[in-house]
């Protein structure tokens, strides 16, 4: 191989570890729940959330939603230490919240493997595998039949 063929590979590797703005990517993880998927990047630098290009307060307007997202960071007492960029796709708000939460917990574990015990005990590393049961033919919903009429 020539030097020109090897050079783009090295440039690509350095580009993966840097984000726009020069912040270094410490860990990258994926979280899933129902139909939702969250691709999370944990960055060193100024703390804050960017979710699909929006701030946390804009993307999840209620305090209950934001508290649920921040639970893994609070459990390991690292809230406000990392910048978190996430790309959320599919599902509804609850699915996206839980997928983001799982992605953050997995990324924290990659940064510091000693946090695994605390995250595991808190239930942050367990994927919630429950899904909606499919509707059955002849029924209104998955199990709901039509009302019985005597006359």
Domain locations along the chain: 24-121
Could you read off the pLDDT of 30-83 as tens digits, one per residue? Answer: 999 999 999 999 988 778 889 999 999 999 999 999 999 999 999 998 888 889
Say what the pLDDT of residue 60 is. 92
Could you read off the pLDDT of 87-96 as tens digits, one per residue? Answer: 999 999 999 9
| 24-121 carries CATH number 3.40.50.970 | no
Its pTM stands at 0.79
Work out the pLDDT band at 145, boundaries 50, 70, 90.
Answer: very high
**What whole-number percentage of the chain has pLDDT above 90?**
64
Say what the pLDDT of residue 9 is. 44
Report which of 50, 47, 24, 22 is spatially closest to residue 38, judged by C-alpha positions. 50
Residue that wins the pLDDT comparison between 6 and 18: 18
DSSP string for the chain: --HHHHHHHHHHHHHHHB-TTSPBEEEEEEEEETTEEEEEEEESSS-EEEETTEEHHHHS-SHHHHHHHHHHHHHTT-TTSSEEEEEEESS-HHHHHHHHHHHHHHHHHHH-GGGHHHHHHTT-SS-----PPPPPTTSSSSSPPPPP---
């Amino acid at each position: 191989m020539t030097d020109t063929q090897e050079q783009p590979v090295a440039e690509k590797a350095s580009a993966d570890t840097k984000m726009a703005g020069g912040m270094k990517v410490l860990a990258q993880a994926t979280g899933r729940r129902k139909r939702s998927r969250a691709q999370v990047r944990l960055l060193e630098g100024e703390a804050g959330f960017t979710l699909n290009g929006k701030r946390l307060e804009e993307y999840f307007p209620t305090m209950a939603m934001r508290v649920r997202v921040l639970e893994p960071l609070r459990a390991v007492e690292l809230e406000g230490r990392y910048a978190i960029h996430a790309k959320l796709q599919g599902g509804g708000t609850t699915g996206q919240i839980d997928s983001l939460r799982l992605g953050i917990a997995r990324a924290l574990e990659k940064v510091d493997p000693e946090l695994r015990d605390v995250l595991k005990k808190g239930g942050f590393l367990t994927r919630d595998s429950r899904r909606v049961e499919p509707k059955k033919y002849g029924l209104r919903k998955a199990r709901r039949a039509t009302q019985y009429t005597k006359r």
